[in-house]
Amino acid sequence: MKKFWLNLLRLFVTAAALACLLWQVDLRATLAALRRAELLYLGAALVLYTLGLVIRAHRWNILVRVLGVRVPFVRLLRLYVVGQFFNAILPSAFGGDVVRALELTRDADSSAAVGTVLLDRMIGLLVLFAASLLALPFYAAQVGTWLTVLLFVVMAGGLAVGGLILEGRLLRRLTQSLPGVFSLAGQGRVARVYTAVTSCGWGAVGRAAGVS
């Protein structure tokens, strides 16, 4: 009975999300744009977008498996597609991540589910920062000196913070005296999620970043 009501809730949420999406979209303008579009380019874009989803699902799969969670890749890919759908229609760009984490708790511990989703998102950002740093020298003349310096500081700082989070020991020492709910040490809920993040290890993080 519980499963029936849960499936009914999922159906209601999906229907509400589709209704919200249709409400926001001008169908006439969308159909007109599709009629004007080059089918070859549209098909190529669809293939590339799908390939991107497969790659990101594989990245997530690397993190999930290193924690000992065995979930079929097809299920992770489906959850990623569902997550992208909710990212597109919800005001926050992280709504899909919440959906992914909630769905994965059916197959894994909640700390592992939340931790791998957060780490997957963070790796995506770190790869973006790294790629931007590599490309920045080629666009410095167009961007301007001060903006180039600012972008360099922000992106390098982002990489440094990411490394600090993944290293784990320093942040645990700094937060061990905080109340349990805020501490990254101990057995609190936040600490367990952080343990899942750091337990993935640098090897898995490197492989996940490599496929990005």
Give 155-163 contacts, CB < 8 A, sequence gap 24+. Answer: 155/129, 155/130, 156/129, 158/125, 158/126, 158/129, 159/126, 159/129, 159/130, 159/133, 162/122, 162/125, 162/126, 162/129
Angle at 158 between CA 188 and CA 185, to 5 degrees: 15
Given pLDDT bands bounded at 50, 70 and 90, which one contains residue 57? Answer: very high
Of all residues in the chain, what percent carry a pLDDT higher than 90? 32
Is 178 inside any structural domain?
Answer: yes
Q: In 3-state terms, what secondary structure has residue 147?
A: helix
Stretch 77-102: mean pLDDT, rounded? 84
Cα–Cα dist 176/187, whole Å: 11
Domains contained in the chain, number: 1
DSSP conformational letter for 177: T
Cα–Cα dist 159/162, whole Å: 5
Q: Is the pLDDT of residue 80 over 60?
A: yes
Stretch 134-143: mean pLDDT, rounded? 81
Q: Is the pLDDT of residue 5 over 90?
A: no
- Residues 156-195 have pLDDT tens digits of 888 898 889 998 889 999 888 888 778 888 788 899 999 9
What is the domain range of residue 197? 36-210
Asked if 197 contacts 119 with a C-beta cutoff of 8 angstroms, the reply is yes
Given pLDDT bands bounded at 50, 70 and 90, which one contains residue 10? Answer: low
DSSP assignment of 122-134 equals: HHHHHHHHHHHHH
Is 9 inside any structural domain?
Answer: no
The residue among 119, 30, 28 whose CA lies nearest residue 66 is 119
Is 141 inside any structural domain?
Answer: yes
Is 100 inside any structural domain?
Answer: yes
User: Residue 187: its pLDDT value, please?
Assistant: 82
Is 88 inside any structural domain?
Answer: yes
Kindly report the length of the chain: 212
Average pLDDT of the residues of the chain: 84
3-state helix/strand/coil string of 38-88: CHHHHHHHHHHHHHHHHHHHHHHHHHHHHCCCCCCHHHHHHHHHHHHHHHH
User: Residue 92: its pLDDT value, please?
Assistant: 67
